[in-house]
Chains A and B, each alone.
Chain A
Amino acid sequence: MKKLSYLILIVTTFLIFNTSCKKDDHNHSDHDSINRVIYELKSATDTVSFSFNDPDGDGGTAPVIAGGTLKANKNYTGSIKLFTLHDGQYEELTSEILAEGTKHQFFFTSTVAGIVVSYDDKDASNNPIGLSNKVQTGSSGSGVLKITLKHEPNKSAAGVSGGDLTNAGGETDAEISYPITVN
């Protein structure tokens, strides 16, 4: 009987060890997800704000993207703010991106002719980040302004610090196409 009780002990110890884990509370919230992006453009005379909102994250209901109208041949100062939705509250992620400035960079492309976006900030290695930027508009037209946030791009690769995405590598953290009109 001693042997039998020993066997039972081994098995029950294993069972207890296995089942003693907590049941999950299922309240998962994505720390990594970006649920809101606001791109604000200011000129001497007006302020335009583009937004991206996706409270339920990937999948589910599609995000709502709102662009806007810029004036032709104007200079704008742009700033980008990012937020995550945590327990029903929007928390700003912008400082997290700024703190890891060397590991992040925004890239800008537009289908509207004449739009030039340049960087207005630097990371610790003197390379651009793009949270602050300058937008110069040309003649009238409509299309999209696409902003791409890359995580761990190779900023020293050819063309990358000048805003060319081709050799950047890294992962895309955000990629938003804002519909815009210039007139």
Chain B
Amino acid sequence: MSQTAISQSGSLILRAKVLDAATNKPLAKVSCFISELNKTEITNSKGEFTYKLVSGYEYHLSLSHQGCEAETHHLSIFSDTTIVFYLHHYHKHLNEVKIGAKRNPIIEAVSQGQIDVLAKENLSNLLEKTTGVRTIKNGNSIAKPIIQGLYGNRLTILNQGIAQTGQQWGNDHAPEIDPLAGNRIRVIKGVSVLEYKGVNMGGLISIEANRFKDDPHLHGKLNSFFETNGFGFGANVQLEKNLPNLAWRLTGTYKNSGDKSTADYYLRNTGSREMNVSFLAEKTLFKDWKTNLFLSSFNTELGVLRGSHVSSTSDLNEAIGRSQPFFTEDEYRRDIAPPRQEVNHHLLKLSSNKLIDSSNALNLLYAGQINNRKEYDVRRGGRSEIPALFIFQHSHFLEGKWIKTRKNSITKSGVQFQYTENINQPETGITPLIPNYSSIEPSLFFTHSHNYENSKFDLGFRYDMQAFNIFTTTKTIPRENIELSQLFHNGAASISYLYHLNKQTDIQFNAGFTVRNPAINELYSFGLHQGVASLEEGNSNLKSEKSFKTSVSLQSTWTERLFTEAQVYFHNMNDFIYLKPQSQTRLTIRGAYPVFIYEQTHAQIYGFDAKVKYKLMEGIDLSADYSYLKGVNLTEDIPLIFMPANRLRGELEFSASKWGKWENPTWAISGQHTFRQNHLNNDQDFIPAPDAYLLLGSRISIERQIKSQRIMAYLQVENILNTRFRDYLNRLRYFSDDLGRNLSVGISITY
């Protein structure tokens, strides 16, 4: 938005022009609504409209256009004014893939509009809508993202810029983040990942909040939904105010769902509850120190399919291959019983920015996190209400960052320090899988980005040290307490080069080297992993994992109607840490168990993601993407397990700018074909990989401006054909089918 004052008078004229932010071309048929006047103007073919306003009054102007996200601006003008608005018209068509010179390396995102429509989903399931992101699940409510075959300890998630700490070591532990507390989710790959704590081999996922609107009034948003599968419902409220000396935003989310169902039966004990609250405030303290406070609390209770709770290999063998899981009930139930999880995660972030001069800025940050994880099993002697696993973790992070901006370059360097303490609460009465430990991690990083006329060059380094102090007991009796310490040094370096081949096409090369030290579970876990009926043993002799990754991507905007993007990647990992099944079994009170020990191998993961968007004609958009991936354990010459199967997706979207008083009516139909994971040997799993499956979906959405409120309503159907299917990355595939048809409705009101 840029303003030019023209003259001084009492009643005045607002002349506005709306341009496409990407192409700089005027946008016609944009509805421009001023709630104070309750009047709508439509832009002409030159993208222009005019209003008569009163000097000094405050106005709220909403702009909406087919294929764009509606935006509201706060105006207070004292003279005839011409304003130019840039609408991010093209972005939605490109799924927020940024194009042009200012683009960061390979960024994909889930936008506010998509988050609104997918409010019922958890973070991982929401991200799965993005090309190249998949999820590892233990039922629908427990899901972890996977990018280019990397997940868990190899993939960091940032919540408002802070690397999420917590019990991320288990595949049945979902990230404790409310996506509705953010406004946008990005997948960051390339050099800029080196600025963040954690091991970012595959890239990182970042949940971010919008900057405050330049508007001193109270504004907000209400988003609510209902879905038929599980009879789930929920609501999210956001309130914000940007006063001259203090800006604040408050968000709250509540979700509640009962037993989900497959095409044929209810999945007993798969309900969930979630209640989150977050608060963001920005204030200028002292001189020039812009200070931000962010508080968030995430609280959830999740049920785990009752029929998937097995405690021996005989149980597993009996449960596999049944037409319905054990404990399936004929009636829908809402209650949650053991096995279940209760997780709380709290974050406090305090950051301060100071502009030293026009090209230097300093940023100081503290972040504290508390993670409380309780897992309840079905236990004897009335102990089901005592958690079988109860871990309390707290971590503290300090960062000092210096950002230097020159005409064509940005240099960032920083120092970080993190302290983590992990404590098993003794009341469980069960030997913990993970020992108590504390860890100290100092780090340094440096990144530099330089823009040339037709290209952009990025370079970065990072160093991390991790010192573990581990408190555990001997494995033989009498049990004795032992204290161990281990020290690791990690380095990472990365370069990226972006080149504008021509007006239409960008090509980008990325290469990076990362050292990752073994995580606590890989070093010291010891005990039964009942979820998979196996004994899991850490290996304290593990060395750091060294990986080299490279990727090439090509993005082309052929015409205003055709856009393509493709990325080819290759990861080579020496000393890749994985759970190796051992040839011997171990006898316990529950019979013989297969034993898995963390070992190292030489592994490679390679693949490509491709995407095409095509505007058939005005109002009809077609998009498709395809992901291919292969993982190999070279030392043993066998496939890597838990790698996503290839997937092809397509969507056809019909939209118009107006339908009576309604705006942006949109109807989309989509199909998703997931291929069978054929790259797997028969002896690598208890059962063969599930068959390929096709899911169809459809969505209708519509918007309307009523006075100062903007209303968006949608109706969505997933798995229209009620297809029976099982997914390779969902652990419940051993026991049950995946979710059947789901119809959801929702409404969001912005005011």
Contact A175 B591 (CB under 8 A): yes
Q: Is B385 an interface residue (CB 8 A)?
A: no
Selected from A34, A55, A57, A65, the residue in CB contact (under 8 A) with B431 is: A57
Q: Is A120 an interface residue (CB 8 A)?
A: no
Contact A31 B423 (CB under 8 A): no
Residues of A near B593 (CB, < 8 A) are 58
| Closest beta carbon of chain B to A160's beta carbon, Å | 12
Residues of A near B396 (CB, < 8 A) are 15, 18
A31 vs B421: C-alpha distance when bound (angstroms): 26
Contact A28 B527 (CB under 8 A): no
Contact B423 A59 (CB under 8 A): no
Contact A28 B431 (CB under 8 A): yes
Residues of A near B475 (CB, < 8 A) are 56, 59-60
Contacting residues of chain A (130-169) with chain B, CB-CB under 8 angstroms: 148, 151-152, 154, 165-166, 168-169
Please report whether the interface of chain A is mostly helix, strand, loop or mixed according to DSSP: loop
Q: Is A179 an interface residue (CB 8 A)?
A: no
CB-CB nearest in chain A for B285: A3
Contact A100 B312 (CB under 8 A): no
CB-CB nearest in chain B for A152: B378
Please report whether the interface of chain B is mostly helix, strand, loop or mixed according to DSSP: mixed
CB-CB nearest in chain A for B480: A26
- Most chain B CB inside 10 Å of its own CB: which residue of A34, A168, A170, A176: A170
CB-CB nearest in chain A for B368: A14
A86 vs B311: C-alpha distance when bound (angstroms): 22
Q: CB-CB contacts of A43-84 with B at 8 A, as 1s and 0s?
A: 000000000101111111111010000000000000000000
Residues of A near B431 (CB, < 8 A) are 28-30, 57
Contact B477 A55 (CB under 8 A): yes
Contact A32 B430 (CB under 8 A): yes
Count of residues in A whose CB is under 8 Å from the partner chain: 59
Contact B366 A11 (CB under 8 A): yes
| Closest beta carbon of chain B to A179's beta carbon, Å | 13
Contacting residues of chain B (359-390) with chain A, CB-CB under 8 angstroms: 366, 368, 370, 378-383, 388
Q: CB-CB contacts of B466-510 with A at 8 A, as 1s and 0s?
A: 000001110111110100000000000000000000000000000
Q: CB-CB contacts of B422-450 with A at 8 A, as 1s and 0s?
A: 01111011111000100000000000000
Contact B526 A23 (CB under 8 A): no
A19 vs B393: C-alpha distance when bound (angstroms): 10
Contact A56 B383 (CB under 8 A): no
A97 vs B471: C-alpha distance when bound (angstroms): 34
Residues of A near B327 (CB, < 8 A) are 154, 169
A174 vs B315: C-alpha distance when bound (angstroms): 11
Residues of B near A29 (CB, < 8 A) are 429, 431
Contact B535 A58 (CB under 8 A): yes
CB-CB nearest in chain B for A104: B380
Selected from A7, A59, A172, the residue in CB contact (under 8 A) with B591 is: A172
Q: Is B57 an interface residue (CB 8 A)?
A: no
Tell which of B122-130, B141-149, B581-589 binds the partner: B581-589
Residues of A near B285 (CB, < 8 A) are 3, 7
A56 vs B476: C-alpha distance when bound (angstroms): 6
Residues of A near B366 (CB, < 8 A) are 11
A148 vs B431: C-alpha distance when bound (angstroms): 23
| Closest beta carbon of chain B to A23's beta carbon, Å | 7
CB-CB nearest in chain B for A54: B589
Contact A171 B378 (CB under 8 A): yes
Q: Is B310 an interface residue (CB 8 A)?
A: yes
| Closest beta carbon of chain B to A75's beta carbon, Å | 28
Which B residues form the contact surface with A (CB < 8 A)?
285-286, 291, 307, 309-312, 314-315, 318-319, 326-327, 348, 350, 366, 368, 370, 378-383, 388, 392, 394, 396, 421, 423-426, 428-432, 436, 471-473, 475-479, 481, 526-528, 535, 537, 586-591, 593
| CB<8 Å pairs between A and B, sample of 10 | A7-B285, A7-B350, A15-B368, A18-B368, A26-B473, A31-B429, A32-B379, A63-B588, A170-B326, A172-B590
Top 7 closest pairs, chain A to chain B, by CB: A169-B326, A31-B429, A175-B591, A172-B312, A18-B394, A171-B311, A26-B481
